[in-house]
Structure 1
Amino acid sequence: MDSDPSQPFRIEAVDYAAALNQLRAVREIVFVEEQQVPLELEWDELDPNCVHVLARALDGTPIGTGRLTPEHKIGRMAVLREWRGKGVGDAMLLALIEQARQRGWREVSLHAQSSAIAFYLRHGFQPYGERFWEAGIEHQSMRRVLGGPASIDHRDTAIETIVDIVGDARRHLFLYTRDLDPGLFDAPPVMEALRRFGTAGRGNEMRVLLQDAAAPQRGHAPLLALAQRLPSVFLFREVDDPVDKAYPSAYLANDLGAYYFRTLGHRFDGEADLHAPGRARQLRGAFMPVWERARPVSEYRALGI
């Protein structure tokens, strides 16, 4: 299994029997010692029949685990405390999803600890059913359809998706929006992702096509204040052609193959895929001709933008 050479760790699928001691070194620290899960509940009869992925530091030290069960469930996701927040969990989850895709599975599910729900939302998993308690910890059932775009039908999922698309962009973002979508593009996690994008110092650029340039001003959209500080990064135009003004949809795409598309631009529900270069390229191709015939938003320049 290939890993990103820039990461200070490696992810690979491992043989359960051969890697058992390394799996124990992570799972028993995280689940048994930290979370007080009884040892007899931590290891079960499914383990020998699961696909296991192991994260190792570059010196070979085990730092994270996850498994994929024959019932198409992801579980036992664990990362050692000192490695949390460094992308290990994200990389393991993507590796498990890829293992499921290779087996032709149409869907995977999981029981997310309540503290990890946002993490799984960010990766396109949708909650279903009521929350429940398992091994003394509150959980939520979640699932994700594979082999195509994920359906976005929760605002929190939409926000996490936008954060991912912004964070994954190499240098360019393309946003087609009616009015900067209050509730989405003013959400604190989105604004923080855009701030990081704008200050990354890589020559980054975000082009924003608006159908109503006055609405963000009236609503004091926080992106305008950010753009005032970073005018070479955030560029705004308003569609002028009547055909463009009648376009009902909205979308965000980056230059690394991720997109979030909403058929009705005034709603947040839609579809997204973080690994769809063809579709993202198609959206960027549709964006540019509209951008060329749109008018620069001169009233924003009056604000110093």
Structure 2
Amino acid sequence: MNEIEVQVVDWHTTEALRDIRRAVFIIEQQIPESLEWDSDDPVATHFLLTCDQEPVGTARLLDDGHIGRVAILQEWRGRNLGETLMLAVMEHAQALGMHTLLLSAQSYALEFYRRLGFQVCSAEYLEAGIAHYAMRRDNPCNDMPPIEFVSPGRFSIHNPQEAAAVTRELNLTWQLGEHRDLIEIDEQQTQDHLLWMLAQARRRVFIYAADQAVWLFNRREVIDAVEQLVARQPKARVQILLHEATKPFLQGHSLVNLMHRFPSLLQIRKQHPERLKGPQVYMLVDDSGVLMLPRSIRREGFIRYNSPDQVRRWQGTFEDLWASSQSDSAIRRFLL
């Protein structure tokens, strides 16, 4: 074994990626093919590890810092190639400004990922019938040794600007449970008030028809705010009800990734197809906060920080729909 390389390659034109994953996951681990291929593949950054130009390993990186589909062909294991591959992915992620890396590790691989600085951040859960743990690494790649990394330079990496977390100070003064004013909101104000209200949440958050406002709920800042809520309030519960589990809501970085990591704190379900789908999108926070977009096709509405009567009314509607809601195979998609 003379020459080891890790390259960023194009998903559409590099058949070796599919060959390796098919051999490791579908044939060796007996994972259903319908779970192996998903909507993240066309938009992920893919890595191919070669030894003397022979493809032997692969991995992918999502825009939200998730590393997945890490695979080394069986006959090439035991040569530290998995570590070489992971270090390349982590170094690439750091170059993109990703300060937190996430992955879903099969139980047998926990020690491997711990050696790379990842820590378990969930209870055991099953994916495709295999025990997994969510793992996380903050401030990655500070002490990684140099490795040989070659990019073919023949395509553009899908890395939209929105994927980078944007931090800004919210100069808002409204307090949850105190201010009774009805505040009219447009698109930018909706984003700011949603973050401000989530920052004050303590017990529960209900979100209706999040898939009808992907422009709002698939933003990195919102996902981070929900993650911070469940981290600081371990008794808090977040329930999200969708009209449909659509690709725009599921693909890339999304709240679904958080559900896989915090399944007991965050639940996402689909409304029963026979129930009437409301035209509105809304979020209810604790006993008093309501953010309402009366028509999902318009990015405007209102917010109230202290409206317990309105929260009780919409909460009753939400809980009634939730009682008949369904899980969805797309929501439970396989994340390795």
Normalising by structure 2, report the TM-score: 0.45
| Greater helix fraction, Structure 1 or Structure 2 | 1
